[in-house]
Amino acid sequence: MQDYEIYHAIVPLITTISLVGVIIIAFRLFIKKVKFNILDYILLPIFLLGMYLYIPYNLFVTGFATYNIPKLEKAAKLSIIPWERSQSYHYIAYIYEYLKDGEKAIEYYKKSINGDYKRHRPEIIMLCRLYGVKGDYDNIMRLSKLRPELKLEKYLRDYYILQGEYQKALDTFINDVDESKLHPRINFLKAALYREVGNTKEADRLYKLAEEKIRKNPKSAKSPVEAMLVNNQWAKKYFLESEFADIESFKTVDEYKKLIEADKKELHFK
């Protein structure tokens, strides 16, 4: 949000200064009858450009505040500021996620990134999240090679599970973490996958670890998203069924597969 706050402060300031500049030049020209000089010829186009910035700015801000796709589309088309154009498309993608139109969300995240995969970390992660639900192996692998530091291979987990490649699914988990601090649903899922590959010892260990955490803190069984968005009904609609699912759905691979398919159906992926 820091970039948004800077943008929100600077653009209105520039447009205000530009408007004052145009008024001063017009006053000198039409009231004082002063002839244009070289400085006027230089400053007037700059001031007019500064005033123009308000048009896409106003569309962007009001479109963002009201979740208005046509306004955000116009802001993106009229904008001469790359960040503003990118963020307009970003928010359109976000709205389409809320509307559960996965293909449209992917389309607009790609427009937001605009081929610049060295930047746009949030958009790349969100795009991979959608590719993961869709089961788009090729695009996740392509992005993970472009941005290896983001560890995007984790979004292949559901793909591997549906394909029955449980060891590969296990390999998508980050292993250098304190498992006792992980959410119980993660350890339950890992336990279920270990059981599928025949490692019952590791499965039992992780299962007991998850149960112990719930025993000590029953609230830890709740979805992390649900705990975070208790009073935000609008934001809740953005997330998928699996992100609110009961913890029982993570205890067996078969139940978890149902969640994967439910997410795909929810976003209308084929």
CB contact at 8 A, 212 and 181: no
CA distance linking residue 59 with residue 88, whole number of Å: 9
Quick one: pLDDT at residue 229?
A: 58
DSSP secondary structure letter of residue 181: G
Quick one: pLDDT at residue 72?
A: 98
Q: In a structure prediction context, what are the per-residue pLDDT tens digits for the chain, which is 270 residues long?
A: 578 888 989 999 999 999 999 999 999 888 888 888 899 899 999 999 999 999 999 999 999 999 999 999 999 999 999 999 999 999 999 999 999 999 999 999 999 999 999 889 999 999 999 999 999 999 999 999 999 999 999 999 999 999 999 999 999 997 767 888 888 999 999 999 999 999 999 999 999 999 999 999 888 888 776 656 555 555 666 678 787 788 999 999 999 999 999 999 999 998
What are the residues whose beta carbons fall under 8 Å from the beta carbon of 258, sequence distance 6 or more? Answer: 249
Quick one: pLDDT at residue 114?
A: 94
Identity of residue 164: G
Identity of residue 73: E
Quick one: pLDDT at residue 36?
A: 83
Write down the pTM of the prediction: 0.88
Q: Which of 100, 106, 152 is nearest to 130 (CA)?
A: 106
- Quickly tell me which residue has 């913890």 as its tokens: 247
DSSP secondary structure letter of residue 239: S
Domain boundaries, the chain: 1-52, 177-266
Q: How many helices (H) and strands (E) does the chain have?
A: 16, 0
CB contact at 8 A, 137 and 268: no
CA distance linking residue 196 with residue 23, whole number of Å: 74
